[in-house]
Chain A
Amino acid sequence: MDTKSIVYIALFAALTAALGLMPPISFAGLGLPPITAQSLGVMLAGAVAGPRRGGLAMLLFIVLVAAGLPLLAGGRGGIGVFLGASGGFLLAWPLCAALIGVLVQARPDASFVTLALAIGLGGLVLMYACGIPWMAFVGKLGLSKSLAIMVAYVPGDLVKVVLATLIVRGLRRAYPTL
């Protein structure tokens, strides 16, 4: 693997960690967990760095979290988070970034909507498809109830998809050698 790939892998792992430092948007009255910016890192890793680099960047991030570094939003980390209710979402990140990368690379001249669809497919649909069964398993909840819980997160994740699409399109214009 060339040096540039190693640096990009490290960069996008670090970006995802740095996004965890951003103050989370909490809707306190509802008693739900806050929406964090971290899955934006997954989307950008796949769309900007490509399937291989993006996927490996997320794998690196997960390894660092498992090693006990508090890189998740709210300073969480360690192996415990993977055994918890949101573990499936976290473990899906490398796959999500890789899928986004494959889809985005397949259509380099994608319009806004196509690009947003590609990012949404990997960063929302696939992530939920991996995360919800795990949540149902850990909580012995059954799929429909877990699905219902996750509905609360769809608006926030849609905002992130739009944001990621805007950033990727802007980057392509500003940084054509990407």
Chain B
Amino acid sequence: MLDLYFPGTSFLHRMSPGPKMLTLMVAATLLFINESLVLTVGALVIVLALYPVAGLTMQQAWKQIRPLLWIFGLFFALQWWFSGLTLAAYVVLRLAALILLASLVTLTTRSSDMIETMTRALGFLRPLGVNPAKVGLAISLALRFIPVLAQITQEVREAQKARGLERSVIAVAMPVAIRTLKMADDISDAIESRGYRS
């Protein structure tokens, strides 16, 4: 399964997902409340220092930030223009620290562990009619559907190419939509005919 997880044995890897998420939420809230540039820089340095502690490289930290560079640049430019350099640096560095911190949790936690923790946490919602087992079924179905959808799209695209229609969005989207809905109906019939209690 594709996953952003990076294997390791550090204390961050060994920490269980629940407390890790809670720590992240508290830290993120504190970062949002703080108004000082010095504290923000301090937080950023601490977060960056945690990367080697968790057995991650600086390249990995950079990879978390790189897709967001455009928005950092835009925010920085706007803030600098309207409110001065200090606020510009504060906003961008706070955003970088937040994202690096959250990525640290993601990189050191398996998706499967995270999903398990979340579904277990849903047990509290049982009185409201939430059934964790059904949530689990929906999760595994969704993960299985992604490659299936990609394959159906590929097949339809090839079929429409033979008709010279591969450039028409609707000529590809419609058969894909109809085939996937048909598939969903067949699958739910198959699940029920195997005695799944709903």
- Chain A interface residues toward B at CB < 8 A: 1-4, 6-11, 13-15, 17-18, 21, 31-33, 44, 48, 60-61, 63-64, 66-71, 74, 76-80, 82-86, 138-141, 145, 149, 163, 166-167, 170-171, 174-175, 178
A6 touches B170 (CB 8 A): no
Interface residues of B in 1-46 (CB under 8 A from A): 2-5, 21, 24, 28
B79 touches A140 (CB 8 A): yes
Interface residues of B in 127-153 (CB under 8 A from A): 129, 131, 134-135, 137-139, 141-146, 148-150, 153
Kindly state whether residue B70 has any CB partner on chain A within 8 Å: yes
On chain B, the residues within 8 Å of A86 by CB distance are: 71
A7 touches B74 (CB 8 A): no
B141 touches A10 (CB 8 A): yes
The CA-CA distance from A60 to B140 in the complex, in Å, is: 11
On chain B, the residues within 8 Å of A6 by CB distance are: 134, 137-138, 141, 188, 198
Please tell me the size bucket of the interface on B: 35 or more
Q: How far is the CB of A70 from chain B (nearest CB, A)?
A: 6
On chain A, the residues within 8 Å of B4 by CB distance are: 68-70, 77-78
The CA-CA distance from A40 to B149 in the complex, in Å, is: 15
Interface centre among B145, B170, B180, B198 (most CB of A within 10 A): B145
Q: Report which of B99, B146, B150, B170 forms a contact with A80, defined as CB distance below 8 A.
A: B99
Kindly state whether residue B56 has any CB partner on chain A within 8 Å: no
B142 touches A17 (CB 8 A): yes
Kindly state whether residue B54 has any CB partner on chain A within 8 Å: no
Q: Which B residue's beta carbon lies closest to that of A166?
A: B170
The CA-CA distance from A78 to B3 in the complex, in Å, is: 10
Kindly state whether residue B114 has any CB partner on chain A within 8 Å: yes
Also in contact, A1 and B75, with CB within 8 A (given A13-B142, A17-B146, A83-B98): no
Q: Main SS of the interface on chain B?
A: helix
Kindly state whether residue B156 has any CB partner on chain A within 8 Å: no
Q: Which B residue's beta carbon lies closest to that of A83?
A: B98
Q: How far is the CB of B141 from chain A (nearest CB, A)?
A: 3
On chain B, the residues within 8 Å of A84 by CB distance are: 68, 71, 95, 98-99
Q: Report which of A32, A70, A83 forms a contact with B2, defined as CB distance below 8 A.
A: A70
Q: How far is the CB of B83 from chain A (nearest CB, A)?
A: 8
- Chain B interface residues toward A at CB < 8 A: 2-5, 21, 24, 28, 64, 67-68, 70-71, 73-75, 78-79, 82-83, 87, 90-91, 95, 98-103, 105-107, 109-111, 114-115, 118, 129, 131, 134-135, 137-139, 141-146, 148-150, 153, 169-170, 173-174, 177-178, 180-182, 184-185, 187-188, 191-192, 196, 198
On chain A, the residues within 8 Å of B150 by CB distance are: 18, 21
Q: Which B residue's beta carbon lies closest to that of A76?
A: B67
Q: How far is the CB of B92 from chain A (nearest CB, A)?
A: 9
Q: How far is the CB of B109 from chain A (nearest CB, A)?
A: 6
